[in-house]
Structure 1
Amino acid sequence: MKLTTFLTMLCITTIAFAQQNNQSQNRNFEVSGKIIEEGTNAPLEYATISFLDSNKNVVTGGITSIDGTYTIEVPEGIYTIRYDFISYKSEIRTNQRINKKTTLPTVTMALDAASLDEVVVRAETTEVQVRLDKKIYNIGKDLTTSGATVSDALNNVPSVTVDIDGAIALRGNGNVRILINGKPSAIAGFGSTDALQQLPAEAIERVEVITSPSARYDAEGTAGILNIILRKEKTLGLNGSIQTNIGVPTTSGLTGNINLRTDKFNIFNTTGIRYRDSPGNAFFENSFFDRDDEGNIIPNQIGLISQETRDYQRLNKGFNTNLGMEYFLTEKSSITAAGFLRLGDDKDTTENLTNDFDSSNNLIESRTRIETETEDDTNYQLSLNYTNNFNDEGHKLTADFQYDISDETENNLITENNTFPSQEVLPSEIVRTIEDQTEYLLQADYVLPIGENAQFEAGFRANLEETRTDFELREQLVANGDFIRNDSLSNIFTYNEDVYAAYSQYGNKFGKFSFLLGLRLENTRLQGNVEAEDVTDNGNQDLTIDFDNNFLGLFPTVNLIYELDERENITLGYNRRINRPRGFFVNPFPSRSSEANVFQGNPNLNPAYSNAFDLGYLKRWKNLTLTSSVYYQRETDSFERIQEDTGEVTPNGIPIIRTIPINLSSNDRYGFEAGVLYNPLKWLRLNGSFNYFKFKSEGSFNGIDYGTENDSWFARGSVKVSLPAKIDWQTNAFYRGPRNNAQTETEGLLSVNLAFSKDIMNDNGTIGFNVSDLFNSRKRRSFTTTDTFISNSEFQWRERQFRLSFTYRFNQKKQRQRQDRDGGDDDGEFEG
């Protein structure tokens, strides 16, 4: 529907030009008017007006401006005038004679209540669209994201949290699937969020929060899906923007968006460069219980206390560009080719000061440890899409091919010195990790409308991914000696994840009741292979080294909606989903961030499965929108990271703690969330959301019960004020309540962001200033208890930051709130 509408806009302009040339001998008259929204009288920007002759051919036409008005040169004659706007009922005026300069009556357009799959909330007041299976947030108006990253922008989206490590969670659940333009992508790092911390937020058009995914989506992600849609303008001609920013601690960036659209093609590009220095800090204290002469633990009696103070200096340099062209084969079909490139050059330095104390708090030993890590990243993505809109009623076929490749090389030099009781240089070590990832994606989706309200969809997807991780550890046996390869830890791990899927779904509407029923069949093959010189002396005797597993599953989805009236509805969703273990979670060879802390994957991990229910309620008033939902999820074989004492010690006598992921028997999670968007005055906009969830997990490992029960919550609020002199002020606040798992309790966390912006240069330019983490309070404080040790920590990933930005737009309006009423980018439809 949306591609058809924009093609119609394109064709109208082209036909108008041709008709005016061909009919130059005829008299033309200026026709003007205005289009507004029913109920609110808000102007509709980019609505289309078509003048049709007696044969229903388009003679000329145009689109409305930002204030909903239009002015069109029309040849003398009698016409049928058609008014169209995405997600609104078309309006038609017949037998309209044009023989002089004419001002037509204002046209009022109403939301299309018969639309099968969406309920739209006015974008300029609420910035959210609600559909059967998703909520869509247009984040371009968030002042606090100016000069920020994609990861920062996601942290301002309701239901979403991004912790200080950069890990993304949806409703408190970290197993969320990240898609770019509806597909898995190297841009998102194949499940890692590192790339999202390097991409500029200006590259995003919108974010789709999908808590009850329909069958067209990949079943991966028990929490749901975040679909990030990148910018691609659709207006005719040449337009674009340039945004630059500087900040303290040292940060700078430059991002350009440019778009050229003609009657036959649409070329779009987003390019950005970044430089960021991100200092951080952490403190860890591990208190180990004492042991008797036979080596048995003496409960509650501390024998050794080890304290670590860390300072992080992260220097990140990056370049990214996304270039594509859409070529219109016919009025109904097009082919789009796009390429994406991301380059990263990072250097991180971590200084670690460790002090060990005895049970009487006497200093035993002090040492310093410096880790210097360099990382080079290269990500490529090539994609090809074919779209054929058979008619204007939604009959559609899309086919996609995508190729992704990612190369990452990390080199880590670790040096250590004793500073007390004597000065001593300790052996150093070098860790090198080379990770190559390749992914192929092939999919097709077919949509067939049946009658006025029904619709059938079907499609298939093949997703083939291979990750090859070459891990090498070289150590000095004596200080200043030669570096010797550690064969018990060095290895090459190749991990393949192949997923084949087919789906179909059917939707219909009966009066005020709509439904969408779907079924997805997926076959998952997980294969791992280890190449290592020593596979016995690595502590993995209880784990399978090589594995080849197949999992076949059916994933039903049900989405229902009942419209109480045009501005109020109730939704009910059910879906079954899967959580596949990533390569890092199944690599049986340990990796380590320090001598005393290692992470070891578990190749015995099975996928986790979940069944989720979501009951939602939406109510819209003139200036107020309320969204709410109650949800429940039961996950079986859920993943949990546990810590245990390996029984081994470092050369300095410090016990080595191992972290390993395991399958717990079950995880029950239920909660409630609500969001309010309120515009009491033209200059004041309020936005708030609250999410409460409770979870209970059961399971044991190595004879230890890791079951736990806990609840937590988070809330966010935003105030945006339009001040005189075209100045906007926005404050965002976020608070996450305390939480805990089987071993660890985590305190609450508060973060506040502040931003100002001012329009200049006839609204073509904007100056912005924002402060991230105003009170420098975004710190994670945790407390862990086990049978052998007690640990507490404080970790701050990035300190408070100040940013100044400038944006210049050419041939664009500042606010394009009406251009993408159906969600915007065509890529958003690629959801097989």
Structure 2
Amino acid sequence: MKWILTPLMAMLCTAALAQNTGKITGKVIDANTKTAIDYATISINPEGSIKPSGGTITDDKGSFVVDKLADGRYSVVINFIGYQDYTAGPFNIKQNTVNIGTISLQPLSKELSAVTVTAKTPMVENRIDKMVYNAANDITSQGGVALDVLKKVPQVSVDIDGNVELQGNTSVRFLINSKPSSVFGSSLPDVLASLPASQIKSIEVITSPGAKYDARGLGGIINIILKDNKVRGINGAVNLSAGTRMENGSANLNVRTGNFGVSAFFSGNAQVNTRTLNLNDHTSVNEQGNSTRLIQDGYSNFRRGGYESGINFDWSLSKRDNVSGSFGYDNFSNRNQGFTAQQQQTTGLANVLSQRNSFSKFNAGTYDWSLDYKHNFKTDGQELEVLYTSSFGNNNSAYNQSQVYNGQNNPFSASASNNPGTDKETNVSIDYTHPLSKDVILETGAKTVLQYINSTADVTAYNPKTGVYAFDPNQSYHLNYDRKIYAGYVSLGFTAFNFFDIKAGGRLEHTDTHVDFPGTVIPSYNTWVPTAVISHKLSDASSIKISYTKRVERAEYRELNPFVNLSDPYNISTGNPLLKPEIGNVFELGYNKSFQAGGNLYIALFSRHNSNDVKTYTSFYSEYRVGDSVYHNVSVTNRQNIGTEQNTGISISGSIPFGKKVNLRTNTTVTDKYIVNKVYGGPTVNAIVVRTNLNLTYQFSDTFVAEAFGNYNSPMKNIQGRTPKFITYNLAIRKQFMSKKVSVGFVTTNPFAKYVNQVTTITQAATTSGQQYTSYSLRRIPYQSFGISLSWRFGKLEFKKQKEQDTSVKQIDN
């Protein structure tokens, strides 16, 4: 990667020599409710000129910073729809920082018949600590699900099974509305495939989280922000879609009056029955040179469904105190029914022909609730926040399978299992922000995470001699999993030499995990997590940053759970209760550039070093004992700490407008992956991995848009063979009617190919006993789909004027 890193680093360092160090800061709030106004427009006008020389928008706390100002006198113009414009200044700038304080915008008092809003936030925003993909602006994805949106998010890639990578790393921490949820611990692909895109406002990508964030997630954090509405009035939306592969619908309602608002939503999703074709070809050779070959040819019918519901409230108790809360219930499920024809060929023996029937299902129902209190002190920027979140989930997985020789009626092997469980998680955090001066901000806080999981596995095995199923105590168990994490952090944000903006801090986490599995003791440990981000604004349109953070990935319950899945007795999977936490050190150098025509570019160089690297590993056994049963010629797969992994790469994302009608967006990540297998003595792995997509939109008119989207994931060499490439493409159109309140869309995925073929190989070199193993697997996944969607927005937005004139209300059509 040196040929990429050297010239780009030279370019960034040269650009950093730019000057102009003046800065203007402030905060914007509603004059009546005293709540922050986000996305207000801030324009900086030189004295004597009405043409802005720079500007920005307020963040979610109403704060703004405009820096890189040359010496001179400037006025600050603030405007936001539904409020009176405000002008402050002029202020004298001479390589200094001017804080104009808190500005209270007055709501308009006149009644307006209708307003057409033409300004909108860009599709992608790059901020100092995160990248934001404004999914609400992506109208061609509104009929899909969260996975469809994630495919378009910079630095994120999604494979055909719904597994998400961030900068090439699958260890990602997911949040909803900046809050954790135990629902992500049950089945992440099911959750992301059941969350309608129409419910998503934006997706935040945080590759170098600060000390305030949990250390979990080697790749970083993906925060899914659901839609809400903090403007007064009654409004809502209904979204429906139907297709050959996926169906979903959602509805939400927002009501706000005065200082109180409430919103509710319901969404449902179903993946209709799809048949995937499977071919597995396994060959093993023992120390005597005799080979055993197993060919499995069959299919599996898969269905998925889920729904989400929730209610949220927001209450401004006073101009300095705010309370918000939420309650929700989610349910996700899937089921898989399959048939496999099996042929076993062994040296010197006749072929053995058999059939296997299998069935498996999964269901998870989760309750989530939260309560958040914020207090703003008299000093601007001084804030205290106390957040309580909790969730409770009921999970259940089950399977049954039977194998019968061709020409016979009774099975020679069969088993069944039922695996119910509960998942409880509670998070309590306290965060405090204190401005030590105009340019120095102190943040500190503490957090407690309490997680308790209860799991029961009841296994019954078939006895071919008696012809009955009997409870198998050697495979059945009851498991309690108890994890407590205690954390504290401190960070400092400041400006150095009127040139660099720095935010650095540290977080200490103590982890205590108990699993009552016989012979398993997990020692408690402390993790010190330093973080630092240094940024420099080259101009109003460009900036650079360099960051470092330490991350940790603790083994989750499903990876630790020793439950043996025998739904396919020739391909067994199980957990590993001895997994150690994986530690990652992450460096990133980024350059951001915005163009006057509306385009943007972000280039990031990153390096990630992981120790105690966790990988899925498959071993072959000529004999494998589970309880009193012995299985022959089987492969066993679980997760293991295999050594170290070094990822170095470049991520490029950008948007290029071609005139007013055509826009091209791209998201490309190239990673040089180097894996050292220290446990099994296997060879090191060095591979180049490419993840890229292109998104082309054409705006026929203000209400009619078409889109083409293509996604490519390259094949990858790993410690045991090769994982497959992945290519998909989408075509979509959307037409809006009735002042954009109603829209109809059509989308198709892979319209010219019914199946996406996935080939995976596994190779196990000769062991000390002389045994070798190779595996070839082909999955033909029916990914082709056609669908239509309908969206309807209703209601009006209202902006009340000053308290003494509350009898007059103006309305804006939504």
**TM-score w.r.t. structure 2 length?**
0.81
Distance in 2, matches of 1:398 and 1:166, equals: 35
**Structure 2 match to 1:529:** 516
Give yes or no for the alignment of 1:793 onto 2:777.
Answer: yes
Distance in 1, matches of 2:309 and 2:421, equals: 22
Give yes or no for the alignment of 1:496 onto 2:473.
Answer: no
Counting only pairs closer than 5 Å after superposition, residues 5-16 of structure 1 correspond to structure 2 as: 5=28, 7-8=30-31, 10=33
SS class of match (1:319): strand
The offset of 1:400, in angstroms, is 0.6
**Structure 2 match to 1:746:** 723
**Structure 2 match to 1:384:** 371
Alignment partner of 2:312 out of 304, 311, 324: 324
Cα pair 1:143 1:756 within 8 Å, conserved: no
Cα pair 1:165 1:797 within 8 Å, conserved: no
Cα pair 2:36 2:60 within 8 Å, conserved: no
Distance in 2, matches of 1:158 and 1:779, equals: 26
Could you say if the C-alpha distance between residues 479 and 694 of structure 1 is closer, same or farther in structure 2, counting changes exceeding 3 Å?
Answer: farther
Give yes or no for the alignment of 1:613 onto 2:599.
Answer: no
**Structure 1 match to 2:533:** 559
Alignment partner of 1:418 out of 387, 399, 405: 405
**Structure 2 match to 1:267:** 262
The offset of 1:224, in angstroms, is 1.0
Could you say if the C-alpha distance between residues 578 and 427 of structure 1 is closer, same or farther in structure 2, counting changes exceeding 3 Å?
Answer: same
Distance in 2, matches of 1:257 and 1:89, equals: 39
SS class of match (1:605): coil
Cα pair 2:205 2:221 within 8 Å, conserved: yes
Cα pair 1:731 1:753 within 8 Å, conserved: yes
The offset of 1:454, in angstroms, is 1.9
Alignment partner of 2:762 out of 784, 787, 802: 784
The aligned amino acid for 1:718 is N
Cα pair 2:262 2:313 within 8 Å, conserved: yes
Cα pair 2:392 2:424 within 8 Å, conserved: yes
Distance in 1, matches of 2:236 and 2:633, equals: 58
Distance in 2, matches of 1:93 and 1:550, equals: 49
Counting only pairs closer than 5 Å after superposition, residues 366-377 of structure 1 correspond to structure 2 as: 366-377=353-364
Gaps of 5+ in 1: 15-35, 49-60, 73-78, 102-121, 536-544, 814-832
**Structure 2 match to 1:160:** 156
Cα pair 1:285 1:792 within 8 Å, conserved: yes
**Structure 2 match to 1:118:** none
Cα pair 1:125 1:679 within 8 Å, conserved: no
Cα pair 2:27 2:103 within 8 Å, conserved: no
Distance in 2, matches of 1:2 and 1:187, equals: 40
SS class of match (1:638): strand
**Structure 1 match to 2:506:** 519
Give yes or no for the alignment of 1:457 onto 2:434.
Answer: no
The aligned amino acid for 2:705 is D
Distance in 1, matches of 2:362 and 2:299, equals: 19
Cα pair 1:11 1:263 within 8 Å, conserved: no
The aligned amino acid for 2:699 is S
SS class of match (2:384): strand
Cα pair 2:398 2:416 within 8 Å, conserved: yes
Alignment partner of 1:584 out of 549, 558, 561: 558
**Structure 1 match to 2:611:** 636
**TM-score w.r.t. structure 1 length?**
0.80
Alignment partner of 1:334 out of 305, 322, 330: 322
Distance in 1, matches of 2:162 and 2:466, equals: 37
SS class of match (1:549): coil
**Structure 2 match to 1:116:** none
Give yes or no for the alignment of 1:252 onto 2:278.
Answer: no
Could you say if the C-alpha distance between residues 2 and 382 of structure 1 is closer, same or farther in structure 2, counting changes exceeding 3 Å?
Answer: farther
**Structure 2 match to 1:627:** 602
The aligned amino acid for 2:515 is G
The offset of 1:652, in angstroms, is 11
The aligned amino acid for 2:318 is T
Counting only pairs closer than 5 Å after superposition, residues 123-134 of structure 1 correspond to structure 2 as: 124=120, 126-134=122-130
The aligned amino acid for 2:594 is R
**Structure 2 match to 1:573:** 547
Distance in 1, matches of 2:421 and 2:35, equals: 50
The aligned amino acid for 1:319 is Y
The aligned amino acid for 2:777 is S
* Cα offsets for 1:130-157 (capped at 9, x unmatched): 2222111111232443232223322221
Give yes or no for the alignment of 1:805 onto 2:789.
Answer: yes
SS class of match (1:194): helix
The offset of 1:426, in angstroms, is 3.9
**Structure 1 match to 2:573:** 599
The offset of 1:92, in angstroms, is 12
Could you say if the C-alpha distance between residues 546 and 186 of structure 1 is closer, same or farther in structure 2, counting changes exceeding 3 Å?
Answer: same
Alignment partner of 2:137 out of 101, 119, 141: 141
Counting only pairs closer than 5 Å after superposition, residues 647-726 of structure 1 correspond to structure 2 as: 647-648=622-623, 654-701=632-679, 703-705=680-682, 707-724=684-701, 726=703
**Structure 2 match to 1:646:** 621
Could you say if the C-alpha distance between residues 733 and 310 of structure 1 is closer, same or farther in structure 2, counting changes exceeding 3 Å?
Answer: same
Distance in 2, matches of 1:6 and 1:229, equals: 22
Cα pair 1:187 1:196 within 8 Å, conserved: no
* Cα offsets for 1:671-704 (capped at 9, x unmatched): 1111121122221111002111112122333x54
The aligned amino acid for 2:176 is I
The aligned amino acid for 1:455 is I
Q: What number of residue pairs does the alignment pair up?
A: 719
Distance in 1, matches of 2:119 and 2:178, equals: 21
Cα pair 2:359 2:401 within 8 Å, conserved: yes
Cα pair 1:243 1:254 within 8 Å, conserved: yes
Could you say if the C-alpha distance between residues 704 and 235 of structure 1 is closer, same or farther in structure 2, counting changes exceeding 3 Å?
Answer: same
Could you say if the C-alpha distance between residues 318 and 602 of structure 1 is closer, same or farther in structure 2, counting changes exceeding 3 Å?
Answer: closer
Cα pair 2:276 2:779 within 8 Å, conserved: yes
Alignment partner of 2:280 out of 260, 266, 285: 285
Cα pair 2:140 2:734 within 8 Å, conserved: no
* Cα offsets for 1:338-375 (capped at 9, x unmatched): 10101235433222232334579x99233332222343
Cα pair 1:134 1:208 within 8 Å, conserved: yes
The offset of 1:388, in angstroms, is 1.3
**Structure 2 match to 1:308:** 296
Larger deviation, residues 592-601 vs 205-214: 592-601
Could you say if the C-alpha distance between residues 583 and 167 of structure 1 is closer, same or farther in structure 2, counting changes exceeding 3 Å?
Answer: same
Distance in 2, matches of 1:769 and 1:37, equals: 42
SS class of match (1:202): helix
The offset of 1:169, in angstroms, is 1.3
Cα pair 1:164 1:798 within 8 Å, conserved: no
Counting only pairs closer than 5 Å after superposition, residues 402-417 of structure 1 correspond to structure 2 as: 402-417=389-404
**Structure 1 match to 2:804:** none
Distance in 1, matches of 2:293 and 2:574, equals: 24
Could you say if the C-alpha distance between residues 2 and 376 of structure 1 is closer, same or farther in structure 2, counting changes exceeding 3 Å?
Answer: farther
Give yes or no for the alignment of 1:181 onto 2:165.
Answer: no
Gaps of 5+ in 2: 1-23, 38-49, 63-76, 90-97, 111-117, 766-771, 798-814
* Cα offsets for 1:795-818 (capped at 9, x unmatched): 3555222221100001379xxxxx
Give yes or no for the alignment of 1:485 onto 2:471.
Answer: yes
Alignment partner of 2:190 out of 187, 191, 194: 194
Distance in 1, matches of 2:521 and 2:36, equals: 59
Could you say if the C-alpha distance between residues 667 and 223 of structure 1 is closer, same or farther in structure 2, counting changes exceeding 3 Å?
Answer: same
**Structure 2 match to 1:507:** 493
The offset of 1:562, in angstroms, is 1.3
**Structure 2 match to 1:393:** 380
* Cα offsets for 1:262-309 (capped at 9, x unmatched): 112110112112333141414233332333xxxx153xx7x2332223
* Cα offsets for 1:158-187 (capped at 9, x unmatched): 211222222221111111111122222134
Could you say if the C-alpha distance between residues 737 and 376 of structure 1 is closer, same or farther in structure 2, counting changes exceeding 3 Å?
Answer: closer
Distance in 2, matches of 1:625 and 1:763, equals: 27
Cα pair 2:698 2:707 within 8 Å, conserved: yes
The aligned amino acid for 1:690 is T
**Structure 2 match to 1:343:** 331
Distance in 2, matches of 1:698 and 1:476, equals: 42
**Structure 2 match to 1:435:** 421
Cα pair 2:269 2:307 within 8 Å, conserved: yes
Cα pair 1:515 1:559 within 8 Å, conserved: yes
Could you say if the C-alpha distance between residues 672 and 47 of structure 1 is closer, same or farther in structure 2, counting changes exceeding 3 Å?
Answer: closer
